[in-house]
Structure 1
Amino acid sequence: MDQFRTLLLDVWREACRHIEIERSTETIARILPHRLPVDRLVVFAFDFTQGLAIPRADSLTIPQDVAPPRTLRSPDRRLLEAWCRRHEVILHRLGDQQHDVLRLLAGSPLDGSWLAAPLTSEHGYAGALLLRAHPPAEFEPEHARMVELLIEPFSVALENDHRLHELDALREAAEADKRSALSRLGREDLVDTIVGDDGGLKAVMERAALVARSDLPVLILGETGSGKEVIARAIHEQCPRAKGPFIRVNCGAIPPELIDSELFGHEKGAFTGATASRRGWFERADEGTLLLDEIGELTPAAQVRLLRVLQEGTFERVGAERPIHVNVRIIAATHRDLPAMVQAGQFREDLWYRVAGFPIVLPPLRERKQDIPALATHFAERAARRFGLRTQSPTSTDLSLLTNYDWPGNIRELASVIDRAAILGDGHRLAIAQALGGVTSPDATRPSQTLNPTAQRNTLATLDEATRQHIEATLAATHGRIEGERGAAKLLDINPHTLRARMRKLGVDWAKYR
């Protein structure tokens, strides 16, 4: 027995050395024959929820050749659960009546003498260890007692293996979610591409790099759609807090009555509907950066509460009395004229001084048209990935049309136009003229005057008309298909039910496009 204790120590060492149970089983299978007449070692994991017996390792196979999971009927599942609870080691020798557990796991008829031991852990993982004797040898009762001592190291090895598979599954799910999100966004990675950082945005990027190294509050001023969040992320990624969270809050989208709960969190039972405690955006951004987008939309009461947090660095959840301290870098952004709002009494002057530590003015797209060719190419590549189309680069005529447009919606509008042009071109070209809604001359060398919103303010379509035209163009590109991977709802990034409701409101008949 002393020699077996030495062997048991070796088994423990190998069980704990390798995370993958295939690796530890491979080594242990070479150790056990020194004291046991073993020629095969098999480890099963049980998933009683799914009704599966999963072979995790088999010393007679290489890992990729391990047999597929076995489906367990309800009686079989109950049989194995009861066996695991009894901690019973099963000894089978030639001529013995076949045990039901061995019938399930080793197959029938049994080819030789077998030992089976249940594997369990305090976290609820369960499985089985099976040993087959080297013929013509047979296992003896003393071998069964030895195997009882192997249950614990193999249970630990099985639990480690189970956790490894859980982590792999979570990692694969996270990667799948990431790939899906990037596909919807038409991007290749999570880092925003800043087109124009060496062109029209050069001065902005230089200021962003200067302030990124400090914790000074930043105020980004720019028109809607000009890329304020992209600049804020660039500042975060260059600052010492880059490994911390980056949280964006749209202040204009928070109802006034929920501003405290959203920004600072609440305790369970603080108000009707507060069924659980909730961390606010300030807590979630601790040790990172909090982007307060559209800060000019905050109500006067919300401005007072925000000012207190910025001054003191502490706050209380709604319904709590304990102050919470956070370490957050603040970046504010707005399309509003905050100095004018301060003069009009619509924005607190003391809050202005707090958030405007380092202002950065983001120029509109019409003031940096030298960036349009690079932006158009970037968005065309993104649209091709997003919609599964062949990549088409804008032609010189396309670029002429684009640079002669004033872009009141800035980069966001340009991205939408390129998306629309890619869909209308169906992978063969970029239908820029159609996407812009204008008519070009026959030689297509210059844009129609209808493309100039400054000259044609009175002929612009209403929002409903523009929306209907966009939906109709998408339905034409998808041949009236609404749902599915190549459906209009997918291309418009909208729920199919919402799209149908909007079509009914606008009087769009999808059937005529089929």
Structure 2
Amino acid sequence: MDRFLPLLLGVWQQACRNIRIDASAEAIAAVLARRLPLDHLLIRQLDPARAQLAMLAWTGQHAPPSTAETTSPGVELEPLIAWCGTRQVVRGPAETVTRRLPGLLPAGLCGNILAGGLVLEGQVLGAAILATEQPGRFSQEHEPMLAALLDPLAVAVQNDRLVRELTALREAAEADRAKLLARLGRQDITDPIVGAEGGLREVMHRVELVARADTPVLILGETGSGKEVVARAIHGRSPRASGPFLRVNCGAIPPELADSELFGHERGSFTGAAAQRKGWFERADGGTLFLDEVGELSPAIQVRLLRILQDGTFQRVGGERQLRVDVRVVAATHRDLGAMVGAGQFRADLWYRINVFPIDLPALRERPQDIPAMATSFALRAAARLGLPPRLPTPEDMERLLAYPWPGNVRELAAVIERAAILGNGRALEVPTALGGNAATPAVAASDPATTPARTPAQKSEETRDDTGETLDEVVRRRIEAALADCLGRIEGPFGAARRLGVNPHTLRARMRRLGIDWTRFRPLRP
């Protein structure tokens, strides 16, 4: 064994110095050629799950240009896997080795073969094959030499596998980041939030208040109003900012898979559970889990969600062990959870648990001062994404955008601007065409004072008065107070003022706070 030490040391050095198998195989083959009659070094990787034996490296003067060759369909790998696990060295002509171990040698390889299985920490990784084109040049004394070299060769295969996995994870993370930024309409995750100093000033103040605490947060707002952006702002300003932020669309999870998606499952716990899987809560450990559209969860899942919010413990589907996670939950919904609790559609105890610190996110029509900056930002990003010259909205475009009520909120504004950029094809933004028949004139858009849409800067001034001499805020206040009086101060529910005015209760509360309307004045006096 002592006579193998210099060779063994040289192979170990090359295996640890080069983490990619293509580089390490060439360097190891050069070291081996000093002591062995070597023409080719082949490294093959076994993937039992896919029943596949792939070629990782093939060195030598006559090696093929690509190492992508794999086992032919129908080749039985069980005998080959068993042989690799024994770490037994096989030697002989290529024809003899092929008969003994079908599938080990690639097509076209001939001459004398010396091969052994690669095993690391009990896991079969593949096989190392030494080949010489002249028959009979490998002797019996070469067998213990290869047996000693199997460990560094296995480490070289493992290093290559790990670096490939890390590369795949990095690429997947970059792809997810690009998709996220595209969905949020941002160029960078640290971009300032448009409207933070305008219509979202109160929202951002509440974000700053709650971010440093670990308190559950419930973000209330209409669809497309930017709830995920606010949730990420909370995470980014919290002590968990370096941890994961995961978003779960509760409305998109099939009820039968909700348990597995949120809490994970053990292998064999149900048909198709081929491996253990971590759920969203485990993957968010140490970070923030954003439960979007939490009102869509089924009653059964609400029970399990309540438990993990109470003590941080849960069980995977099919598991018996109690697991614990440290996760901050930020939930969001466009639905009226208070009314759902009253109707028995949402658990009251879960409502109290997630509603510790509510944040009302105003609709876009309630913060018209943010529309010009948003439209400009979306226009620049659309131009960059589409490869077009940057074109900004004209004053006439802005007037149309400000007059439109934006039922789809920020998401709709982003879509309209991108559509306008596509239609303009780099010449201009075709905002009128992009809005199409949805563009409302200011007179039509103002028909419902409780849902007053964005106006031009002159129109939205509190000093602007209609034909009766009232300001716009006075008209809105009068309509809301009349509805509260008719509904005896009730805001939510089928007989509430929000239903009477045709608006979301959270939207109505936000408007009442801005106008200083006290709903308790309209409650009947108790005797």
Could you tell me the TM-score, scaled by structure 2's length? 0.61
C-alpha distance in structure 1 between counterparts of 2:248 and 2:38, whole Å? 63
Q: Which amino acid aligns with 2:90?
A: E
1:99-137 CA distance string (max 9 Å, x none): 989xx8797998xxx76434543644434443669x9xx
How far did 1:3 drift? 3.3
Query: SS at 1:374's partner residue?
Result: helix
Give how far 1:232 is off.
1.0
> What secondary structure, in the 3-state scheme, does the structure 1 residue paired with 2:290 have?
strand
List aligned pairs for 1:272-351, cutoff 5 A: 282=281, 285-295=284-294, 310-314=309-313, 325-335=324-334
Q: Counterparts of 1:397 and 1:417 in 2: how far apart (Å)? A: 15
Q: Which moved more, 1:82-91 or 1:411-420?
A: 82-91
Greater shift, 271-280 or 330-339, is seen at: 271-280
In structure 1, runs of 5+ residues without a counterpart are: 440-446, 458-514
Shift of 1:421: 1.9
Supply the distance in 1 between the matched residues of 2:268 and 2:98 (Cα, whole angstroms). 54
Which residue is 1:403 aligned to? 402
How far apart are 1:215 and its partner, in Å? 0.7
How many angstroms does 1:50 deviate by?
A: 9.2
Deviation for aligned residue 1:213? 1.1
Q: 1:348 to 1:3 in 2, by over 3 A?
A: closer
Report the CA distance between 1:235 and its aligned residue. Answer: 0.5
Could you say what secondary structure the match of 2:406 adopts? Answer: coil
- Root mean square deviation of aligned Cα: 5.6
> In the TM superposition, what whole-angstrom CA distance separates every residue of 1:39-80 from its partner, at most 9, and x where no partner exists?
86633436797988746263779xxx983237578599799x
Q: What amino acid is the match of 1:88? A: V
Q: Mapping of 1:213-292 within 5 angstroms? A: 213-249=212-248, 282=281, 285-292=284-291
Q: What's the secondary structure of 2:90's corresponding residue?
A: coil
Matches within 5 A, 1:6-405: 6-25=6-25, 27-28=27-28, 31-32=31-32, 36=35, 42-45=41-44, 54=55, 56=57, 58=59, 67-69=65-67, 71=69, 87-90=89-92, 116-121=114-119, 123-130=123-130, 139=137, 141=139, 144-145=142-143, 147-153=145-151, 155-164=153-162, 166-167=164-165, 170-171=168-169, 174=172, 177-178=175-176, 181=179, 185=183, 188=187, 194-249=193-248, 282=281, 285-295=284-294, 310-314=309-313, 325-335=324-334, 353-384=352-383, 391-405=390-404
Q: Which stretch has the larger CA shift, 401-410 or 154-163? A: 154-163
Aligned 8 A contact 1:251 1:297 in 2:
yes
Q: Deviations over 1:449-482 (max 9, x none)?
A: 378522499xxxxxxxxxxxxxxxxxxxxxxxxx
2:445 is the alignment partner of 1:453: yes
For residues 447 and 314 of structure 2, the distance between their equivalents in structure 1, rounded to whole angstroms, comes to 52
SS in 2 for 1:89: strand
Go from structure 1 to structure 2 and tell me whether the alpha carbon gap of 1:261 and 1:78 turns closer, same or farther (over 3 Å shift).
closer
Matched-pair contact (CA < 8 Å) for 2:382–2:417: yes
Alpha-carbon shift at residue 434 of structure 1 (Å) = 1.6
Q: 1:172 to 1:206 in 2, by over 3 A?
A: closer
Aligned residues of 1:25 and 1:59 also touching (Cα < 8 A): no
User: Is the Cα contact below 8 Å between 2:116 and 2:150 reproduced in 1?
Assistant: no
Partner of 2:5: 5
**Which AA in structure 2 matches 1:289?**
T
Cα pair distance change 1:352/1:297, threshold 3 Å: same
Percent identical residues: 49
How many residue pairs were aligned? 436
Q: Distance in 1 between matches of 2:267 and 2:235?
A: 33
- How many angstroms does 1:431 deviate by? 1.3
Identify if the C-alpha distance between structure 1 residues 384 and 182 changes in structure 2 by more than 3 Å, giving closer, same or farther: farther
Deviates more, 1:15-24 or 1:430-439: 15-24
SS at match of 1:68: coil
Distance 1:188 1:40, change over 3 A: farther
**Which amino acid letter does the alignment assign opposite residue 228 of structure 1?**
K
Distance 1:59 1:153 in 2: 22
Alpha-carbon distance, 1:401 to partner: 1.9
- C-alpha change, 1:263 and 1:42, in structure 2 (3 Å) is closer
- The C-alpha deviation readout for 1:131-190, integer Å capped at 9, x for no partner, is 669x9xx95736634643454145414522551464266347626853774697466556
Report if aligned partners of 2:219, 2:358 keep a CA contact under 8 Å in 1.
Answer: yes
CA pair 436-74 structure 1, distance change in 2 beyond 3 A? closer
